[in-house]
Amino acid sequence: MAEQGTFDASQPEALSDRLAALRARWLRVAALLFEQAIAEDDPGFAIPAPEVVGETLEALAQALLREPDRFAAAILDWHARFAALMNRQLARRADPKLEPLYKPEASDRRFVDAEWSEDLRFDTLKQVYLMTCAWMHELIQSVAGLDAKTRMRASFYVRLALEALAPTNYPATNPVVLRAAIESRGATLLRGLERLLEDLERNHGRLPVAPGRTDSFALGRDLATTPGAVMFRTDLAELIQYAPTTETVFARPVLIVPPWINKYYILDLRPRNSLIKYLVDAGFTVFVLSWVNPGKDLAHKTFEDYLREGPLAALDVIERITGERRSSVVGYCIGGTLTACLLAYLWAQGAGRRVASATFLTTMLDFAEPGELGVFIDERQLELLERHMAKKGYLEARWMQQVFSLLRANDLVWSFFVQRYLLGREPPPFDLLHWNADGTRMPYMMHKFYLRNCYLENRLVQPGGITLLGTPIDLGRIRTPAYFLSTREDHIAPWRSTYRGALHLKGRVRFVLAGSGHIAGVVNPPEARKYGYWTRAALPSDPEAWLKGARFRPGSWWPHWRAWLARFSGRMVAARIPGAGPVPVLEPAPGHYVRMGAEDPN
């Protein structure tokens, strides 16, 4: 192997030895896969459930065959589109200035290399693929006899298949891969094969479903570096208080309730994009819940245990530390769902004013239209999932990571596949991907309750639909001022659904829509000058009507929210140092729970 990553033709023996070693490794990996398949304790469980996929595609096929004339017309339409495309390509050979018939979406990064447009062969291949994808989508949407749920599932499964079949995913049809292989004399493909085997060996025969973990980042050194201390701990959460950076602070503290599907430090990645540091530097006393990564011993923990041992316990400790009865609460994703339950519980107990303001970041309350996540949730799939969790005591982190990866397979699966296995490149360290791969397990009883009562039956928006800690939960009793931040490209909490959820609260509600998606739209510091956001004071019942009348503002939503939050934060007081009051420090931040790995503990 030459120094520059090409083969040294003068040393064929070294290449032969290397290929022989790869063959031996491949045989070992194949044996590992076979052993794992035999030893698998729950071989029937998969996401998505194979039987549901089969039934959905069978229903689609039957619907197509019930109208053979329309199906035949659709096939003829594909051929007509193909002929028109070929004619246009022939014309473009004579006149390159002619526009192509099919172009990728601006957000589609698969075809950005110039050769996809400049080489007519690859350009034609690209356009045939894009045309077929559009044709399939139109066919599924137009076929009669499918209920909405089946149609959505069929569209999703077919899209996954088409994304897997993209010409970018194969060496012979990707000009970038071909060019790299030629320039390196095949070294890139060989390196890719070696990395494929490394990943299979490291992950016990599985490919990583959430690539990005790297030794380049360490908690407390590179990520989660905002100074603070763990002040309190329950079975489910640690409470971190952050050290002030200003001499005076707002009297009312801020409690952040992050999701427990991943680690809390999404809000404290690095100093330049840390929302926690931003709040501390703005003069807020900030607390955050750092959730445990549960094992089988916590299988019995329920959704109401997360309420009791999370924000309810935290509010009591925060009052002891600061002397303030009232706090503002910020909930993110499922942490926001829990925050809404906290507010409804407190208002039912006559203590609703204990929370001065509530912020909901990409939070679902009304699950009537959960978006593509609904593909994975129905009675059949929940039964399979519950059976699996009952055996394990929890849901492994990799299953949730797989669901989220499939929602954006081009960006989170195939991009990594091409870079690492076809181009032989090591993707550069990226804090957001590192966090994404640092998942947590879900306790059996909690996750069962959450999926059934929220996603499947949408009980949270029904007055008294669920009961927590002996108290019927009614979102309509909440009078707390609320700020809802949603993101326009969110695949996990679709903004139209989060908007409808906001309408269930009866206090003063401010709804803000940011650009980008579930993570990037939230973690968007002002210095980045990206995306922008929409605001409007009125809240019509139709989210599209709200957007039509909303005002677009460039940049980050953070300053807009900070000004809103300050209105409910009281006077200025002397800064509070962790451990200086009646509650002693347990250990420095980021604490113990955040360091618990995602690996299966059993």
10 by Cβ neighbours in 10 Å (0-12 / 13-18 / 19+) ranks as exposed
CA distance 31 to 246: 60
Q: How many angstroms separate the CA atoms of 387 and 400, rounded?
A: 16
Distance CA 418, CA 53 (A): 26
| E-assigned strand segments in 26-105 | none
Spatial neighbors of 548 by CB under 8 A, at least 6 apart, are none
Alpha-carbon distance of 409 to 110, in angstroms, equals 12
Contact 151, 141 (CB under 8 A): yes
Q: Widest CA span of the chain, in angstroms?
A: 83
Q: Quick check: 333 and 261 in contact, CB under 8 A?
A: yes
If we measure between CA atoms, which residue out of 330, 337, 400 comes closest to residue 359? 330
- Burial per residue of 80-91, b for 16 or more beta-carbon CB atoms within 10 angstroms, e otherwise: ebeeebeebbee
From the list 235, 411, 267, the residue with the least C-alpha distance to 333 is 267
Report residue 290 as tokens: 């750092």
Concerning whether 341 is annotated as a catalytic residue, the answer is no
- Hey, is 47 helix, strand or coil? coil
Structure tokens at 167: 């010409």
Q: Which of 133, 333, 341, 454 is catalytic?
A: 333
The two tokens of residue 202 are: 């490291």
Q: How many residues does the chain have?
A: 602
Hey, CA dihedral for 527, 220, 358, 580, is it positive or negative?
negative
Q: Are 326 and 356 in contact (CB under 8 A)?
A: yes
DSSP for 143-206? -SS--HHHHHHHHHHHHHHHHHT-GGGSGGG-HHHHHHHHHTTTHHHHHHHHHHHHHHHHTTT-
**Taking phi first (over 0 means left), then psi (-120 to 50 degrees means alpha), and beta for anything else, what does residue 342 get?**
alpha
Bridge pairing between strands 327-332 and 254-257: parallel
Q: Please, what is the end-to-end C-alpha distance for the chain in angstroms? A: 42
Parallel/antiparallel/unpaired status of strands 442-443 and 394-395: antiparallel
Instruction: Report the alpha-carbon distance of residue 281 to residue 47 in Å, rounded.
Output: 43
Cα 481 to the center of its chain, rounded Å: 27
Listing DSSP states for 354-406 in one string gives GEEEEEEES--S--SS-GGGGGG-SHHHHHHHHHHHHHHSEE-HHHHHHHHHH
Listed residue (91, 172, 77) closest to 125, CA to CA: 172
Task: Give the separation between CA 439 and CA 263, rounded to whole angstroms.
Answer: 7
Catalytically active residues are: 333
